[in-house]
């Protein structure tokens, strides 16, 4: 780069992934100071260091400087390279923590990305691999990112604290993204789900399914919840069970909710019946919030709208999550882009909570590193 773009400076450990991902896409270096400086155990955590190592693997020529205590990080992004990779994620966070970052970057690589991630597939903090597969992949398809090599495959499940799960994510490269107009979510037409159990009785999954259906059957008949009981080496290193539910609307948008059991040796044991009921209620709340993108994927949708062609994109969202609000501020500082935000109070036809219509003009981001065939 001939012109040295001035670096952005931040303080604190919050939103570290957002800043590093946006820095990589915009090519602007970023400096983050005071990372847990006042903490008894200061500096970057293992899972954050692992995320930085992952960025280093998928880029070529990144410069990363961390001081001795780990409280200051300077990141000068290289070019997104891609290719076939493997990465062992930290078991402190789920694979979803790393996948969310990869989903933002994967379409803009030089070579199509095929990566094997190992670690915790389902936990209580990050979106599980099941939910990202059911909601984020269809969202990327709306933007024109599609192909035979576009898949997310769960080879092994891993629950915290031991992990031992494995997923394969592959994504084709894209020259430019299509603008989208997602303004009508439609009505819920079916609910699909996945109840999984590893290293516990297979009956657990069936008990979860029965209790979840007990609540959801009152609203809609078309419900199918698959049970997935992995055995042997495919079941990871720790016992656990959980449920992820996805509601699909008539216009092809997806809303999701999920719950997982407490990790072994932490907190009280959870009854499968309670977990099924609570997860069904969470899904109903997500449907009440509504919008064309569920709250997990709001920031991904807004990022892809920003990077789209120089054309107007619109998306109707439910109430913005605090994470999304901070993401909008970051988009402004990295890409100088502002969204037009209109609140749509819930009228007669829009049942559920208040909605927000987000409109922006894409910056015409073009994947310059894509090899010309």
Residues 198 and 267 in one domain: yes
Beta strands, E only, 73-178: 73-76, 79-80, 82-88, 111-119, 151-156, 165-171
Write down the H helix ranges in 196-340. 203-216, 272-289, 298-306, 322-335
If pLDDT is split at 50, 70 and 90, which confidence band does 250 have?
Answer: very high
Angle 333-110-84 from CA coordinates, rounded to 5°: 115
Residues 207 and 333 in one domain: no
The CATH number of whichever domain residue 168 belongs to comes to 3.65.10.20
If pLDDT is split at 50, 70 and 90, which confidence band does 104 have?
Answer: very high
Q: Is residue 271 part of a domain?
A: yes
Residues 212 and 240 in one domain: yes
Domain boundary among 143, 175, 207: 175
Q: Is the pLDDT of residue 2 over 90?
A: no
Q: Is the pLDDT of residue 179 over 50?
A: yes
pLDDT of res. 135: 97
17 vs 348, more confident: 17
Residues 200 and 306 in one domain: no
Q: Is the pLDDT of residue 348 over 80?
A: no
pLDDT of res. 372: 56
pLDDT of res. 221: 93
Domain boundary among 268, 289, 310: 289
Domain boundary among 175, 199, 231: 175
Contacts of 132 (CB under 8 A, 6+ apart): 96, 99, 100, 103, 152, 296
For the chain, what is the domain count? 3
Q: Is residue 209 part of a domain?
A: yes
If pLDDT is split at 50, 70 and 90, which confidence band does 345 have?
Answer: confident
pLDDT of res. 64: 97
Domain range for 327: 293-361
What does the pLDDT average to over 10-31? 95
pLDDT of res. 349: 60
If pLDDT is split at 50, 70 and 90, which confidence band does 305 have?
Answer: very high
Nearest to 161 by CA among 229, 244, 261: 261
pLDDT of res. 1: 37
Q: Is residue 368 part of a domain?
A: no
Of 49-53, 61-65, 284-288, 366-370, minimum mean pLDDT range? 366-370
pLDDT of res. 370: 65
For the stretch 314-326, pLDDT in tens is 999 999 999 999 9
pLDDT of res. 3: 44
pLDDT of res. 201: 95
Residues 202 and 262 in one domain: yes
Give this prediction's pTM.
0.95
Q: 279 in helix, strand or coil? A: helix
What mean pLDDT, rounded, does the chain reach?
93
Q: Is residue 41 part of a domain?
A: yes
Residues 165 and 46 in one domain: yes
pLDDT of res. 115: 98
pLDDT of res. 367: 82
Q: Is residue 370 part of a domain?
A: no
């Amino acid at each position: 780069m001939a012109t040295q773009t001035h670096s952005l400076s931040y303080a604190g450990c919050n939103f570290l992934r957002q800043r590093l991902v946006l820095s990589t896409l915009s090519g602007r270096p970023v400096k983050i100071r005071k990372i847990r400086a006042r903490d008894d155990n200061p500096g970057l955590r293992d899972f954050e260091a692992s995320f930085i190592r992952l960025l280093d693997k998928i880029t070529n020529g990144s410069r990363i400087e961390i001081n001795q205590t780990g409280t200051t990080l300077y990141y000068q992004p290289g070019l997104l390279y891609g290719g076939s990779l493997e990465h062992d994620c930290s078991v402190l966070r789920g694979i979803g923590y790393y996948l969310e970052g990869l989903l933002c970057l994967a379409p803009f690589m030089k070579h199509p990305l095929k990566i094997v991630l190992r670690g915790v597939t389902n936990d209580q903090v990050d979106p599980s691999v099941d939910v990202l597969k059911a909601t984020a992949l269809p969202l990327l398809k709306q933007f024109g990112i599609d192909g035979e090599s576009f898949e997310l495959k769960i080879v092994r499940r891993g629950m915290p604290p031991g992990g031992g799960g494995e997923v394969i994510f592959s994504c084709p490269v894209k020259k430019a993204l299509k603008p989208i107009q997602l303004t009508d979510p439609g009505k819920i037409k079916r609910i699909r789900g996945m109840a999984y159990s590893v290293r516990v009785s297979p009956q657990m999954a069936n008990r979860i399914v029965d209790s979840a259906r007990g609540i959801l059957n009152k609203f809609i008949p078309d419900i199918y919840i698959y049970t997935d009981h992995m055995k042997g080496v495919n079941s990871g290193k720790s016992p656990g069970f959980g449920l992820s539910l996805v509601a699909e609307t008539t216009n092809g948008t997806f809303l999701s909710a999920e719950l997982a059991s407490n990790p072994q040796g932490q907190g009280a044991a959870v009854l499968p019946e309670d977990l099924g009921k609570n997860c069904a209620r969470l899904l109903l709340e997500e449907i009440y919030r509504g919008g064309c993108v569920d709250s997990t994927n709001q920031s991904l949708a807004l990022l892809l709208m920003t990077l789209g062609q120089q054309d107007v994109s619109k998306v109707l969202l439910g109430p913005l999550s605090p994470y999304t609000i901070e993401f909008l501020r970051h988009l402004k500082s990295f890409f100088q882009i502002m969204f037009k935000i209109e609140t749509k109070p819930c009228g007669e036809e829009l049942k559920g909570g208040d909605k927000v219509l987000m409109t922006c003009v894409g910056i015409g981001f073009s994947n310059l590193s894509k090899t010309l065939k």
